[in-house]
Amino acid sequence: MHRFDDITHQHCLLVAGLAAAFAKSLGLGEGECHRLTKAALLHDVGKIHVPTAILNKPGKLDANEMALMKRHPELGFAMLTGQAFHPEVLQVVRSHHEMLDGSGYPDGLKANEIPDLVRVMTVCDIYAALIERRSYKAPMPGEKAFAILDGMTGRLDAAIVEAFRPVARAFVPRFPPHA
């Protein structure tokens, strides 16, 4: 990832840090913590199939660009399948954009079809994306980012979002929001 796109690489590192802290705060076992952190590092690997001009586009993606971007979970899953990764890691890579109401992608999974580790990862991924600087947006303050997560009732697991609150509160970027 680092050789392909440093912004995506930095995002994966941030998500991995959040996921590791969250897994520990949830009291997950060592194996689950390890699998979640590994999955966080790999969750966007499929983006190497998306041109950097689309990944780092300063404006809104058009329909064709968005369709290509939405393929990254299944492309990442295909890349890692058969490479001795734990099935839970593969599931997180494939399903980290799934939503409880079935509005996510790539498979439109609903409610109980979405494994717990995927639900945890999705919260970390969305929070990281909100607080990061991107070519198309400034970083968002943590409180505002958490409020967005909290407002995604029906799409995200409310209990997992609430359990994430202390992790979000403890995370303070080491740079000013407008640096």
pLDDT digits (tens, 9 = 90+) for 147-167: 999 999 999 999 999 999 999
Best mean pLDDT range from 102-106, 132-136, 137-141, 168-172:
102-106
User: Domain map of the chain by residue range?
Assistant: 6-170
pTM of the model: 0.92
Provide the pLDDT for residue 1: 66
From the DSSP assignment, how many helices (H) and strands (E) are in the chain?
9, 0
Provide the pLDDT for residue 178: 43
Mean pLDDT, rounded, for 51-69: 92
| Contact present, 70 and 104 (Cβ < 8 Å) | no
Partner residues linked to 156 by β-bridges = 153
Provide the pLDDT for residue 5: 75
Mean pLDDT, rounded, for 106-134: 96
Res. 145: pLDDT tops 70: yes
User: Which residues does 7 contact at the CB level (< 8 Å), separation at least 6?
Assistant: 55, 56, 134, 135
Grade residue 133 by pLDDT with cuts at 50, 70 and 90.
Answer: confident
Question: Is the omega angle on the peptide bond into residue 106 within 30 degrees of 0, that is, cis?
Answer: yes
Compute the mean pLDDT over every residue in the chain, rounded to the nearest whole number. 92
User: Which residues does 156 contact at the CB level (< 8 Å), separation at least 6?
Assistant: 99, 100, 119, 122, 123, 126, 149
User: Domain 6-170: which topology?
Assistant: Hypothetical protein af1432 (1.10.3210)
